[in-house]
Amino acid sequence: MRQVRAITVNTFRETIRDRVLAVIVVFALIMIVGGLWLGSISLGEQGRMMKDFGLAAVTGFGLIVAVFIAAGLVHKEVEKRTVFVLFSKPVSRGAFIAGKFLGLCGTMAVVLAGMGLFLFALVGVLDGRVSGMVLVATAMIYVQLLTVMAVTIFFSTLGSAILASVLGICVFVAGQLSQNVLQLTRLGKNPITEALSWVVYVIIPNLSAVDVKAGVVGEQTLAWGQIALWTAYLFAYMVVVLVLAAVVFRRKEF
Amino acid sequence: MSRDVVAVKDLHKTVAVGFRRRRVQILKGVNLTVAANEVFGLLGPNGAGKTTTVKVLLGLMRPTSGSVELGVEGLGHVGYLPENPYFYDYLSGREFLGFCARLFGEDAVTRRERVEALLEDVSLLDAADTHLRKYSKGMLQRIGIAQALINDPELVLLDEPMTGLDPIGRVEVKRIIQKLHERGKTVLFNSHILSDVHELCSRIAIMRDGRVIWTGSVDEALAEGETLEQFFVRAVQA
């Protein structure tokens, strides 16, 4: 446990100080402000546009941070041979994976809190009243991105950082669509495509189930009980994927 | 008779390389013992298998066959400096050593004392709060030695510890190795700098092509050649 904590703190320090991260966050904030301009040309829907565009920017830039840092996190340690220093000490491979993931969870929390609070303040100024739903939506984006991070870390133990990044993004996109695809194939009544989409639905984390952006902009009523269950499912999914990553990583030689 | 801290018996290591997973035998039956409180030099040309032997000792690689035994209670009593070490860019020297100490579960007071003492030992107190990405190669080598000693290990494995050091840095590292010997520690190091080996080691082993081809004391080697360098060249070319 001590080793996990040490690696967590170290990973958080290392990633939060990375200049690339600061550049991405600044760019994300500029994009969120860009939502003001979109709002101004949207005929009375300025607040709604701001929330919509802002949350999309938080998701997009959060995804960039999650995937690219998670993909490089394990790979960089192997490539630059810092693993020699770590694993020549009494550090288990499982503790390494857990510490890396938790450290990155901390970094993502700071990044998303920064972007979410900025959007919250901007929407508050624009609407003249505060909307806590923006923060709730940001928290749910955080859960989605943690899942993508866990999957990307798993892929990075199997192959290169680039491959892990690409697969991480693919899982994010597929996770947004898997539920809809399953429903569509059920309409088609073809047992093979239905079975295939069911397999994909089971393997790929259902990220759209915790997406509350539509609820924030008032397009959909949210079922909070179901969202809580799906959140628990995603956390269980992360644990399984990280255990698999630790098993793969334990077999590696350096 | 002193106990063996390192015992390697008939160690073989084969790895698969390239797209077609061609099998290459790196170690072809290494036999080696290092006694407690020895400063032992592992010599050999590039590709002889020195680093691989050390990696197997540390569990970074698994042996294909043969055995390795460490006469210490696990990795908690071992220190290791890899060749051409690279550390975390955005951590300061002090933070990095603190992190290494945490991995051994040291309490905050011991951790702080140990980190400060080591920073002084490797002459990095002035640069302790500078990020490691701004360190020179020699400074990285010295912080690497400090992290290898953070747990006050009984066995210290140093892979090319003099690489990248200026003459003053080399003197400092030699002083550290001598101090470790005086404190009863066992040191095994790989080096190409034979004058340092001559100065520091009580015994040496020469590796070539995945095997140990000669083991003995420095005096025994000097009895067979005018200088250690001459003896080494003759041994690896034989």
Q: What's the whole-number mean pLDDT along residues A144-149?
A: 97
Distance from CA of B194 to the nearest CA of A (A): 25
Q: Are B88 and A91 a contacting pair at CB < 8 A?
A: no
Question: Six-digit token pair at A21?
Answer: 């991260």
Question: Six-digit token pair at B171?
Answer: 């003197």
pLDDT band at B1 (very low <50, low <70, confident <90, very high): low
**Chain B residues in contact with A90 (beta carbon < 8 A):** 74-76, 103-104
Residues 6+ apart with CB under 8 A from B94: B115, B119, B128, B129
Question: Six-digit token pair at A1?
Answer: 């446990």
Distance from CA of B237 to the nearest CA of A (A): 30
pLDDT value at B133 more than 70: yes
DSSP for A176-240 reads HHHHHHHHHHHHHT-HHHHHHHHHHHHHS--GGGG--HHHHTTSS---HHHHHHHHHHHHHHHHH
User: What is the C-alpha separation between A34 and A27, in angstroms, rounded?
Assistant: 10
For chain A positions 234-253, those within 8 Å of chain B (CB to CB) are 253
pLDDT band at A112 (very low <50, low <70, confident <90, very high): very high
Of A2, A7, A90, the CB nearest to B74: A90
User: What is the C-alpha separation between B212 and A22, in angstroms, rounded?
Assistant: 52
Instruction: Quote the pLDDT of residue A83.
Output: 92
User: What is the C-alpha separation between A29 and A121, in angstroms, rounded?
Assistant: 12
User: What is the C-alpha separation between A30 and B181, in angstroms, rounded?
Assistant: 59
Mutate to test the interface with A, among B26, B51, B88 (most CBs of A within 10 A): B88
**pLDDT tens by residue, A10-64:** 999 999 998 888 888 888 888 888 877 877 777 777 777 888 889 999 999 999 9
Residues 6+ apart with CB under 8 A from B149: B79, B118, B121, B156, B176, B180
- DSSP-assigned letter for residue B92: B
Q: What's the whole-number mean pLDDT along residues A59-79?
A: 92
Q: What's the whole-number mean pLDDT along residues B74-84?
A: 92
DSSP for B42-70 reads EE--TTSSHHHHHHHHHTSS--SEEEEEE
Instruction: Quote the pLDDT of residue A219.
Output: 63
**pLDDT tens by residue, A153-210:** 999 999 899 999 999 999 999 999 988 888 888 888 888 988 888 888 889 999 999 9
Least confident of A29-33, A148-152, B124-128: A29-33
Residue ranges covered by each domain of chain A: 2-250
Instruction: Quote the pLDDT of residue A5.
Output: 94
Instruction: Quote the pLDDT of residue A46.
Output: 76
Question: Six-digit token pair at A72?
Answer: 């490089």
What is the overall mean pLDDT for chain A?
90
Q: 3-state DSSP call for residue B128?
A: coil
Instruction: Quote the pLDDT of residue A89.
Output: 94
Least confident of A186-195, B62-71, B210-219: A186-195
If you count them, how many residues does chain B have? 238
ipTM for this model: 0.87
pLDDT value at B37 more than 70: yes
The CA-atom distances, in angstroms, between A139 and each of A60, A104, A131, B123, B172 are: 14, 15, 14, 47, 52
**Chain A residues in contact with B79 (beta carbon < 8 A):** 88
The share of chain B scoring above pLDDT 90, in percent, equals 74
Instruction: Quote the pLDDT of residue A245.
Output: 96
pLDDT band at B168 (very low <50, low <70, confident <90, very high): confident
Distance from CA of B222 to the nearest CA of A (A): 34
CA-based end-to-end distance of chain B: 33
**Chain B residues in contact with A83 (beta carbon < 8 A):** 60
Distance from CA of A1 to the nearest CA of B (A): 10
pLDDT value at A138 more than 80: yes
A22 touches chain B (CB under 8 A): no
User: What is the C-alpha separation between A164 and A3, in angstroms, rounded?
Assistant: 25
**pLDDT tens by residue, B197-209:** 999 999 999 999 9
The amino acid sitting at A65 is V
**Chain A residues in contact with B133 (beta carbon < 8 A):** none
